[in-house]
Amino acid sequence: MLLRVDDLDYARKRVAEFGPAFTLTWVKGVDEQAALRRMGAYPDTLEVREPGTHAAALPLGAWTLVIEPGGRAGGDHVLLEAVSRETEAISLLRDDKATPRFTYARSGRTEVAFDPAYPSPELTWGAEPNLLDHLMHALNLREPDSEDDDSWRDAEAKALVLAQRLTNVRVPAGALDVPRMSAVLEPWFVGGVRPGDLLRLRTPVDASPADKRQTAVSLLHRLAIEMDISDLDLDSDAGGSEPGEAGSVFGPVNPESALGRRAREWLADPLTYGDFTTALRGVLDPDPDVALRAALRPLNPDERAAVLAKLTA
């Protein structure tokens, strides 16, 4: 007898097979290499490999599934929104040491996202938070109504069934038992700026876009010098981005450009360069307000006040 796509026992087995920490990301209408590239794959790491620590992709009908053993890139809604541009994307994050997450994104925006173990209406968010209610109710994906309510059990398995309902394909058994197209993922290159990357400002900064951009670039260069990066070149190829008001490039960085290869070195050492790479991503954003708020974030309060006072004088 064939297993149905909504078979909970089958989903439990797949969740157990992937282990205590993994992320599954479904991308519609693209092949394996394109799905991995959308998620930030380094182009020079794309190849067919035996299962391991790399993200692996496999075709499933109209969708491609990217499996991250121990990884969580697809669980980031900012990245998933980028992945979903002009198509659809779904992710399921499981991490026994963190909160699980189910996210459905379409055409560059999060439609609905929730914690499968506690999908309360108050904590479910997105442009259409009630979009999947009918399916969730059918799968008993709901908020526990008492301390004795064990509806949270099998949360990830139920969420996997939900994904299979939405895609009309199921995750095969032994998905990582054979060589798959795989790559090293680095969402920094495609995911855009996270809200936590930016300094919160109580009031808008009254300065021209050009002055904001120039200040942001200057602060980034200052931070680079503090971290012994003396040759930061924002004018190197950033993958087709346009010149910024201060003469630097802005927009996505090509990981194979000169700047991109330097960024890969910095990203590999987050303890040393974490503040710098976070600021760099923001400063290269097309919005000068975002650039300024990203460059200000690593500064202490007195330094920020001094910069803002000079900028608005």
Over the stretch 123-141, which tens digit does the pLDDT of each residue have? 999 999 999 999 998 888 8
Work out the number of other CB atoms within 10 angstroms of the CB of residue 205.
18
**Maximum CA extent, the chain:** 76
Q: What is the pLDDT of residues 229-252, one digit of tens each?
A: 988 888 755 444 444 444 456 788
The percentage of residues in the chain with a pLDDT greater than 70, rounded to a whole number, is 91
Least confident span in 101-105, 170-174, 230-234: 230-234
pLDDT exceeds cutoff 90 at 107: yes
How are beta strands 55-60 and 242-243 bridged, if at all? unpaired
Count of residues making up the chain: 313
Query: What are the C-alpha distances in Å from 275 to residues 102, 278, 285, 287?
Result: 29, 5, 16, 20
With CA atoms as reference, report the closest residue to 220 among 239, 248, 243: 248
Work out the number of other CB atoms within 10 angstroms of the CB of residue 301.
7
**Domain extent listing, the chain:** 8-189, 203-312
pLDDT exceeds cutoff 60 at 313: yes
Any bridge partners for residue 113, and if so which?
A: 103, 125
Contact of 292 with 285, CB cutoff 8 Å: no
Contact of 55 with 73, CB cutoff 8 Å: yes
pLDDT at position 146, please? 64
Least confident span in 4-8, 56-60, 300-304: 4-8
Q: What is the pLDDT of residues 4-24, one digit of tens each?
A: 545 889 999 999 999 999 999
How are beta strands 101-106 and 109-114 bridged, if at all? antiparallel
Q: Categorise residue 283: left if φ over 0, alpha if ψ from -120 to 50, beta otherwise.
A: alpha
Which are the contacts of 233, defined by CB distance < 8 A and separation ≥ 6? 258, 259
Contact of 30 with 89, CB cutoff 8 Å: no
Q: What is the DSSP letter of 127?
A: S
Contact of 20 with 53, CB cutoff 8 Å: no
For residue 221, give the H/E element and its range: helix 209-226
The percentage of residues in the chain with a pLDDT greater than 90, rounded to a whole number, is 77
Distance from the Cα of residue 234 to its chain's centroid: 24
The whole-model pTM stands at: 0.89
Work out the number of other CB atoms within 10 angstroms of the CB of residue 7.
15
Which are the contacts of 56, defined by CB distance < 8 A and separation ≥ 6? 49, 66, 67, 69, 175, 176, 180, 181, 182
Mean pLDDT, rounded, of the chain: 90
- Split at pLDDT 50, 70, 90, the class of 106 is very high
Contact of 278 with 197, CB cutoff 8 Å: yes
pLDDT at position 231, please? 83
- Split at pLDDT 50, 70, 90, the class of 180 is very high
**Rounded Cα–Cα distance for residues 92 and 80 (Å):** 11
Beta-sheet strands, E only, within the chain: 21-28, 47-49, 55-60, 63-69, 88-95, 101-106, 109-114, 180-183, 242-243, 249-250
Q: What is the pLDDT of residues 146-167, one digit of tens each?
A: 666 566 678 999 999 999 999 9
- Split at pLDDT 50, 70, 90, the class of 99 is confident
Degrees to nearest 5, angle at CA 40 with 38 and 41: 100
pLDDT at position 144, please? 73
With CA atoms as reference, report the closest residue to 307 among 219, 221, 246: 219
